[in-house]
Copies of this chain bind each other. A is one copy, B any other.
Amino acid sequence: MTAQRSGCPINLTLETLGDRWSLIVIRDIMFGNRRHFRELHGASDEGIASNILADRLKRLVEADLLSRAEDPSHKQKAIYSLTEKAIQLVPLLVQMGAWGRRHLPVSREMSVRQELLEEGGPALWDAFMDELRTLHLGVPAKGPSVLARLRQAYEEALAEKG
């Protein structure tokens, strides 16, 4: 983040998303449906520190990428939801995953979901975004669950790993 501004869409996107932790948090909410602080903290392989997690959640709410509400089922707990703006990051995250799968030492179980999304193309991304709108924005469900399909592929890859 910086005081310098330009009207370039790539630059503004990079400024808005901030450092890598913001996208790691969005990834965990989006693909892992982790909605509470405690689920987000400690669960991911990257081991985000609690002060960084707290800061990034605050920034993401300020940037209108997450919304925060009291969870009616858990007193004293906040639940985080993706906004429409964050849901529309799906194609960007798919391309990030596609590039990583091709050029970096990814693990099988962590890349199988990205592989499915990449192969499914824009039609599957749209279906996944619709499902996220159901989960996070309360929009009625339109079709079969993409997340369930991604989760199944992940669990199968994990089982194969042994």
Q: Give A residues with C-beta under 8 Å from B.
A: 2, 4-16, 19-20, 23-24, 27, 44-47, 85, 88-89, 91-111, 114
B92–A96 contact, CB under 8 A? yes
CA distance A104 to B14 in the complex (A): 11
B92–A8 contact, CB under 8 A? no
Shortest CB distance A62–B (Å) = 14
B6–A14 contact, CB under 8 A? no
- Number of identical monomers bound together in the oligomeric complex: 2
Closest to A24 in B: B11
Shortest CB distance A78–B (Å) = 24
Closest to A65 in B: B103
For A19, the chain B residues whose CB sits under 8 A away are 19
Which of A9, A12, A95 has the largest number of chain B CB atoms within 10 A? A9
A7–B89 contact, CB under 8 A? no
For A8, the chain B residues whose CB sits under 8 A away are 27, 45-46, 100, 106-107, 110-111
Closest to A102 in B: B88
Shortest CB distance A10–B (Å) = 5
From the candidates B4, B47, B88, B99, name the one contacting A103 in the complex (CB within 8 A).
B88
A20–B11 contact, CB under 8 A? yes
Known: A16-B104, A88-B103, A104-B16. A97 touches B10 (CB 8 A): yes
Known: A19-B19, A85-B103, A103-B85. A96 touches B6 (CB 8 A): no
Q: What are 11 pairs between A and B in contact, CB < 8 Å? A: A4-B47, A7-B105, A8-B27, A8-B107, A8-B110, A9-B101, A9-B106, A9-B110, A10-B96, A13-B99, A92-B95
